[in-house]
Chain A
Amino acid sequence: MEQPQFNGLYFDGQSSQAQPVTLILHEQQQILYFQLPSGQTQQWDFADTAVFDGPGQLEIRSKSDSAVIIRLELSKAQKQVIHRQLSRNNWHFRFAQLGLVKIIIIALLFFSGLIASYFWLLPPLAEKAVDWLPNSIDQQIGDTFFASIVDQQTIDQQRSVALNNFAAELKLRNQIPLHFNVVRSSDVNAFALPNGEIVVYTGLLRHIKTPAQLVALLGHEVSHVNERHSMKLLSRNLAGYMVISLLIGDVSGITAVLTDNAQQLQQLSYSRSNEQQADELGFQILLDNKQAPKGMSELFGILKKQEFTQIPELLSSHPLTNSRIANIQKKQARFANRQPEPNQKLEQWFEVLVK
């Protein structure tokens, strides 16, 4: 097989004087060799060389001393011959060799993979990350924003005491201490903060007719706290934002997301699966406390009715989908013949609340 030969100039890295050389590529041995005008011959392993493209020329440099150069004046086709031999280990070159179509396909695959993982992989990972966060963070975030969300003036002290006493009679499966607040407002709303502060508006309380319905409501909200749903939501939003900001190179916005989210903590929209989980755990709490199982669907009925007259905040943030109602009705059917046990104290506090 004939070995390709090229004429070029050699710079020895000692002076800027150029020396003419003839370069021979020996493919099988993976060696290139050349003879200097002085008669001395040199040989370089292909693996020890780096090739650099220039305008109408190509430079082959020894990796051990980048100042030693063989410079060849070559056509495009000749350049390819050398590149194919010597640039095998160069990522950029190998990638560029794939051709435009393949590069575009790879780029498209990559970006669709990126988008897919943004929507389907990132949220569960971010929720998982919450498990590693200490509870003190939930506490801090909740504390900071309880003050800004709830105006102390609007708290109905008497009813709040009654609600706390009502809740004290219940088993709520909580890991952190809970505190209940009744806020005077015509809005049909209730929400939970990650520090265990639970807020119920008088606008919603007005529609609740039985202790079981109230237990269902508290059970639902407490389950959001128990399962750290707001933290999961915050983590999801933050993770999403971090990816976006990495892509567009803006990191300062992350703090903005933190404050934004925390401010709107009460009207955040939990994910559908989180809502359903809170429904189910709320229903369990209803059963744990030996309340009428229909309390949950009655609560849904109250909320659903409100949907026609006004769009209650509770619904806009906890969309009461038909699947959620169906899911609870199915569960309820299994416990239809369970008899509730009357609880004297619960009834008493409930009377104070709805008075």
Chain B
Amino acid sequence: MTSGRRVRTLFAGLMLTALVLVTLDARDDGTAPRGAATAALEPLGSPLARALQPVRDLDDAVRDLLATRAENRRLRAENEELRARRAADADLVRQVEELRALVGLRDDLALDTVPARVISVTPSNFEWTLTIDAGTDDGVTRGMAVVSGDGLVGRVLLATGDAARVLLLIDPNFSVAARAVGGDGLGVLDGRGSEAMRFAPLDARLPVAEGDELVTATFPGSAVPAGIPIGRLTVREDTDSRLRAAYGVGPYVDVAALDHVLVVLAPPAPEVPSLEDSAGVPLDVPGPPPSPAPVATDAGADGVDDADAAGSG
């Protein structure tokens, strides 16, 4: 038998054996011979596997490290995304609360208003204004009060068709009649820019105290309705005269965090005619009080006080 024929015979025999084994294995699951082979190799395989355990552990450690790094990167990215989403949610919650307060104030004061969004805020050393997206097309005119859910924001300075510039209540040029709720004291509120606003009661003797709430008051020619919250009196300031009082005022409104406001569509309060224009108009003035006791010092003080108060008004 030649070498080539022997090879062919051997190959054919092997393929036939393989075919038989495959067929038998397909009929039976071959568990028995496989179990025997595995058991036979077990005495050698187990020590080898134990010897390779450190390699396996090292491999596991490297894989875990790589997986941890990848997971760390993924979690960091996810964390950033969640933070951004949380910030957006917080801003939405703030806007909802702002709108809710806005609606509440409008309902409380029964005001006819126009809603507007704040387009830009311009706080500088010389001008404290903001721009809103409502203008004359919406019925907004110069002088109208602008409020947020927290209270008075300012007054319309300039109105165009679809936008308006609002003078903020902290602007040094802003001034409005105000009333301290606790002491019932009427006075004038002035903005002072970056410093706290200033409230000067018309009558220093009126019982006004620190902590009193300040609201707007009606004033002839003013379109700012009465009763809109402004802020709280903080500290009594020193004045050059004990006949004049002044208080610092902390505003309720944070002008830097405004998104939505309402423009109060109230017409200006009617002007009272001046004395020169009221010639011939019968005045219903009560008569003088019956014979006051002439005390020189008190009368003088009252006279100065009255004059001073009138001047302030």
Q: Do A and B come from one complex?
A: no
